[in-house]
Amino acid sequence: MGDNSLAPELWLLIEHLPAGFETLREEARGEGYLFVERLAADWEARRMRFDRDGEALLAAYATGVLAGIGGLTIEPVLPGALRMRRFYVRPLFRRAGIGRKLATALLERARIIDVLVTVNAAPASVSFWESLGFAPDMRDGHTHLYCGFC
């Protein structure tokens, strides 16, 4: 699937985690990414629903299959900033533009309100975030900052 020809469909999640979430969750767990487990636990407990001002959780579907998920929340450390969170693209769908579409859709939401965005990038994803314009900034619990419109 890594041919960059997929045109993912993005869905804003409000009431429920998306269809296909369990498969995505299992794949993330298999890769050692536990933040998808935290997403499920926080969602179920209603601790994090991505529903405050500026927040959003998006699901990306490719060919009718859940390919990825990612969200923005209020940054707990930097007042007035947002944080990319719970960002995961299933291995089969990587390098097909799905992560980029998810990230740019979330950054567009941040651009509308003109705020700084942070991310705590896993080592394997550093080049991805930097290709989007995030700059290294190792402090306050994040690894990168994006201020392409500030």
Domains and CATH numbers, the chain: 9-146 (3.40.630.30)
Per-residue pLDDT at 140: 87
By the 10 Å C-beta count (0-12 exposed, 13-18 middle, 19+ buried), 39 is classed as buried
Per-residue pLDDT at 36: 97
Q: Which amino acid is at 40?
A: A
Residue 78 has pLDDT above 80, yes or no: yes
Residue 1 has pLDDT above 90, yes or no: no
Per-residue pLDDT at 74: 96
Determine what percent of the chain is predicted with pLDDT higher than 90.
87
* Mean of pLDDT values over 10-20: 97
Residue 93 has pLDDT above 90, yes or no: yes
> Do 87 and 69 meet the contact criterion of CB atoms below 8 Å apart?
yes
Name the pLDDT band for 3 (thresholds 50, 70, 90).
very low
Residue 102 has pLDDT above 70, yes or no: yes
